[in-house]
Structure 1
Amino acid sequence: MKRAVTRLVMGGMALAMAFGTVACGAAGKGWGDGDASASGDVGSTVAGGFKIGLLLPESRTARYEKFDRPYITRDITALCPGCQVVYGNADQDAERQRQQFDSMLAGDVKVIILDAVDAKAITPAVFRARGRGVKVIAYDRLAGGPIDAYTSFDNIQIGKMQGQALLDALRAGGDPRRGPIVMVNGSPADPNVDDYRKGVHSVLDGQVVVGKEYDIPDWSPDRAGAEAADAFTALGAAKVIGVYSANDGMAGGVARAMRDTGVGEGTPLTGQDAELAAVQRILLGTQTMTVYKPIEPEARNAARMAVDLGSGKAVTGGGGDDGTVGNGTSSSIPTQIIQPIVVTKDNIKDTVVKDGFWTVQEICTPAVRAACKAARLL
C-alpha cells in the first residue's frame, strides 16, 4: 500500500484563506484545481450548488456527532454555499448504511462522503455509485470498490504509537516479559484495524508475552470488557502486566473489567480517539495514553474533495506521486493522510485542550478536579 503523510496546518487564517479563494470567486482556484479552461464551469457549479451525501458509521463514539458532522457541514458550506449536505448515521448497522447509500443515489447526490461500517459489505453500493456517475470519498476508513478519493490518519503509525507507549510503560515497571499482556483489537469489518494491528505488533512482537488476543465486533465496549475479564481470569489477574486496547470506548469496558477482577492498580492500558472519559481516566491513572486524531483537518480534506469532485475538478493526493493508496479495485486513489498525536497526562493541555477538542471545564468534573490540579490543568 502506497501512502504519503501530509502535515496539515490547522491555523484559522490558513483555513479562511483556502475557503475564501474557492467560495468567493467563480473562476477561483483552490486545492485540487483542474486546468484553467474548466474553471468557469467549476465556478458555475459551485455557485449553483449540488447535493453532497455524508454517511457516518455510528454515534456511540462522541467524535462523529460532536466533531465530524459539524466540521464537514461547516466546511462544505464555506466552500460551496449553494451545496446541500444530506446526512445519514448508520448506528453501526451495515445494512442500514447500505440503505442510506442507495437512498442518496436515488436522491440525486453528486458526491458521497462515506465512513463505512463494513468496508467490504458496502462495496457493491460503491460500484452502483460509479455506474450512476456519483463520486465516492472514503472518509477515515478505506472502503472497497471504485473509490475516487480518500482521507484518513496514518493508521499503522497509530498502532506503533500505542505499542510504543505500552512497551515504555511496561519497561518502567521492570522486564516487559515478566508477565502476560492482553490485546483487544477492534472490529474485523473495519479495514483500519489491520493497520493498527500491524503497527502495534511491529513494536511489541518479541518484546512482550501476549497471553490472549481478541477481535471485538462493532468495537463493543461491553464485549471488550467481557473478553478481557475472561482473559484476566484465565491468565490470573495478578499476573497480567498490561492491556492493549485499540480504542477508548473498548478501554472503558476493559478498565471496568480490570477493576472488577483485581488486575493491579496502574496496570498500563492504551486507547485511541481522545474520548472525554479516556482523558479523565488518564488523569486518574487508570489509562496510560490515548491517540488524538485532529478531526478538523480530516473534515476539511473531505469537504474540499467533495466540492472539487462535484464540480468536475480532479483531486490530488498529498506528497506528490506517492499520495495514493490502493484497495484492490483501484490502485491509485488520491489520498490525504494526517499525523496522529499521542496524549498522556503531561500534554493534555497542549493537545486536546489547546485545539478546543475538550475544554478544561468538560474534563475537570468534581471527580477529576484533584487530578486536574495535579496536572496543572486548573
Structure 2
Amino acid sequence: MFDTDKRQLIRRFISLIMCLIMVVSVTACGRSEDMVQAEDDDGTIEIGFTFDSFIIERWERDRDVFVSRAHELGVEVNVQNANGDVDTQISQIEYFIEKKVNAIVIVAVDCEALSGVIAKAHRAGIKVISYDRLISDANTDLYISFDNNEVGALMAESIVSQVGPEGNILEINGPLTDTNVPTVVEGFEKGLARTRINIMDVYHCNGWRPEYAFDYINRYLAEHPDEVPDAIMCGNDSIAGQTIKALSEHKLAGDVVVTGQDADVEACQRIVEGTQYMTVYKPVEKLAGRAADLVVELVTKGYVDINDTMSDGTYNVPYEKLDPIEVTAQNMDEVIIGTFHQRSEVYLNVDH
C-alpha cells in the first residue's frame, strides 16, 4: 500500500514538473517573439521610393541625392525602378504597403492610374508624396517639384529672343499622362500669346522615349520639305538630342532654335557647340534634398508647414515649388560649371 501511494506521489510530482516546464517553454517562446519584434521595430524611418524609370538622365541624380540626404537624417530608403510600366509601379507600391514603410515617394509612370493604390496606402497609415509629377485625384500628402509653368515660360522667352515676334515652330513633348506636360505647355503657350508665332504641329513622345522624336522630325521634314520650322520646343534634353540628330541628317542642325529641359551633360555640350540654344536647369540637389527633409517632417509631425497648394483634379495638395533657371551659352559657366557639371565634361568637344 505504501509502495503504491509512493508511486502515485512520484507520478504526480513528475506531471507537475512537466507542466511547469511547458509553461516556462511557452512563456519563453512568447518573450522571444516579443524581443524579435522589438528589435525589428527600432524606430528607424523607412521610405519606399519608386521611379518611373531611369531613361531620363536626371532621375539617377535625384535618387542619389535623396538617398544620401535621407541617410544623413538616419532614414532608410528602398528604391524601386518601374521601368516605365504602370502595373509594375502599382505592384511596387503594394510591396511597400506590405512592408509597412512610413512613407512612399513616387515619380509616377502614369499620373492618372495610381489613385486606387494610393488610397490603399493611406488606409494603412502611410504618407504618400508626389515627386516632380503630381498624381491625379489621389490626395497625396505632398507634391514637390519645380515651377513647371515657369519652365514653359522660359522656353517661350528663349524662342522669342531668337526668332522674333513671328515665325513657325513645332512642339515635341512627353506624354500627357505626365501632369507636368500640360503645365509646361500652358506656360509656354502663354509666353507666346502676344506674338504672331505659329505652332505648326504638336507631338507627344509616349513614355518620354526620345527615339520617337527622331522619327517624328524625319517624317515631318520629309512630308513638309518647304516648311522648315524656325524653332522646336522640346520637352526635355533627351528629346532635344534626338531632334537635333534628325535635323543634322537634313543639314539643319544649328539653323533651327531648339530648347530643352534638365541640363543633361550632353545638352550642355550641344549648347556650347551651337546646335541647341537653351535648356532649363532644375537644381535637383535642392529638390531631392528638400524632399527628403519634408518626407521626414511628414512622418514625424504628420504634416508639413507649406502654404501653397495645387489641385490634383479633386483635392488641393500641399505644393513645394522650386524655381527653374534658363541656361544658354552665355551663362553656362555661371550656372552649371562646377555646380552641376565639370568644365571638362561640358567643353569636351570645343576649345574654351
Please, what TM-score do these two structures have when normalized by structure 2? 0.84
Contact 2:147-2:324 at 8 Å conserved across structures: yes
**Residue 342 of structure 2 corresponds to which residue in structure 1?**
359
Per-residue CA deviation, residues 61-97 of structure 1 (Å, 9 max, x unaligned), is 11111x1111111111222x1x221111112222211
What SS is found at the alignment partner of 1:161?
Answer: helix
Shift of 1:166: 1.0
Contact 2:272-2:347 at 8 Å conserved across structures: no
Q: Distance in 2 between matches of 1:77 and 1:224?
A: 38
Shift of 1:237: 5.7
In the alignment, structure 1 residue 306 sits paired with structure 2 residue 287: no
What SS is found at the alignment partner of 2:79?
Answer: strand
Per-residue CA deviation, residues 286-305 of structure 1 (Å, 9 max, x unaligned), is 00000000111211221112
**Residue 212 of structure 2 corresponds to which residue in structure 1?**
223
**Residue 328 of structure 1 corresponds to which residue in structure 2?**
313
Code of the residue aligned with 1:73 in structure 2: it is: V
Q: Distance in 2 between matches of 1:216 and 1:69?
A: 24
Per-residue CA deviation, residues 91-132 of structure 1 (Å, 9 max, x unaligned), is 222221111111111111110111111111122111111111
**Residue 151 of structure 1 corresponds to which residue in structure 2?**
144
Shift of 1:233: 2.3
**Residue 136 of structure 1 corresponds to which residue in structure 2?**
128
In the alignment, structure 1 residue 369 sits paired with structure 2 residue 345: no
**Residue 20 of structure 2 corresponds to which residue in structure 1?**
none
Contact 2:253-2:275 at 8 Å conserved across structures: no
Code of the residue aligned with 1:344 in structure 2: it is: T
**Residue 11 of structure 1 corresponds to which residue in structure 2?**
none
Q: Which segments of 5 or more consecutive residues in structure 1 lack a partner in the other structure?
A: 1-45, 374-378
Q: Distance in 2 between matches of 1:244 and 1:118?
A: 23
Larger Rg: 2
**Residue 71 of structure 1 corresponds to which residue in structure 2?**
65
Please, what TM-score do these two structures have when normalized by structure 1? 0.78
Shift of 1:47: 8.1
Contact 1:181-1:241 at 8 Å conserved across structures: yes
Code of the residue aligned with 1:110 in structure 2: it is: N
Q: Distance in 2 between matches of 1:264 and 1:324?
A: 41
Contact 1:232-1:263 at 8 Å conserved across structures: no
In the alignment, structure 1 residue 271 sits paired with structure 2 residue 266: no
1:89 to 71, 81, 98: 81
Q: Distance in 2 between matches of 1:237 and 1:268?
A: 17
List aligned pairs for 1:113-192, cutoff 5 A.
113-144=105-136, 145-171=138-164, 176-177=166-167, 180-192=168-180
Shift of 1:313: 3.4
Moved over 4 A (4+): none
In the alignment, structure 1 residue 341 sits paired with structure 2 residue 325: yes
In the alignment, structure 1 residue 105 sits paired with structure 2 residue 97: yes
Shift of 1:265: 3.6
Per-residue CA deviation, residues 336-358 of structure 1 (Å, 9 max, x unaligned), is 10000000001111112242x11
2:48 to 35, 48, 53: 53
Q: Distance in 2 between matches of 1:68 and 1:264?
A: 31
Per-residue CA deviation, residues 245-297 of structure 1 (Å, 9 max, x unaligned), is 11100011100111112436431000000011110010111000000001112
Shift of 1:220: 1.3
Q: Distance in 2 between matches of 1:312 and 1:194?
A: 33
After alignment, is 272-281 or 308-317 more displaced? 308-317
What SS is found at the alignment partner of 1:336?
Answer: strand
Q: Distance in 2 between matches of 1:210 and 1:190?
A: 21
Contact 1:237-1:263 at 8 Å conserved across structures: no
Contact 2:172-2:234 at 8 Å conserved across structures: yes
Code of the residue aligned with 1:243 in structure 2: it is: I
CA, structure 1 residues 240+334, in 2 after alignment: closer, same or farther (shift >3 Å)? closer
Code of the residue aligned with 2:160 in structure 1: it is: L
Shift of 1:55: 1.3
Per-residue CA deviation, residues 6-49 of structure 1 (Å, 9 max, x unaligned), is xxxxxxxxxxxxxxxxxxxxxxxxxxxxxxxxxxxxxxxx9821
Code of the residue aligned with 1:240 in structure 2: it is: P
Contact 1:58-1:92 at 8 Å conserved across structures: yes
Q: Distance in 1 between matches of 2:229 and 2:140?
A: 43
**Residue 35 of structure 2 corresponds to which residue in structure 1?**
none
Q: Distance in 1 between matches of 2:332 and 2:141?
A: 36
CA, structure 1 residues 49+167, in 2 after alignment: closer, same or farther (shift >3 Å)? same
List aligned pairs for 1:27-42, cutoff 5 A.
none
What SS is found at the alignment partner of 2:318?
Answer: strand
In the alignment, structure 1 residue 316 sits paired with structure 2 residue 305: yes
Contact 1:187-1:193 at 8 Å conserved across structures: yes
Contact 1:211-1:235 at 8 Å conserved across structures: no
Shift of 1:361: 2.0
Shift of 1:135: 0.5
Q: Distance in 1 between matches of 2:226 and 2:91?
A: 44
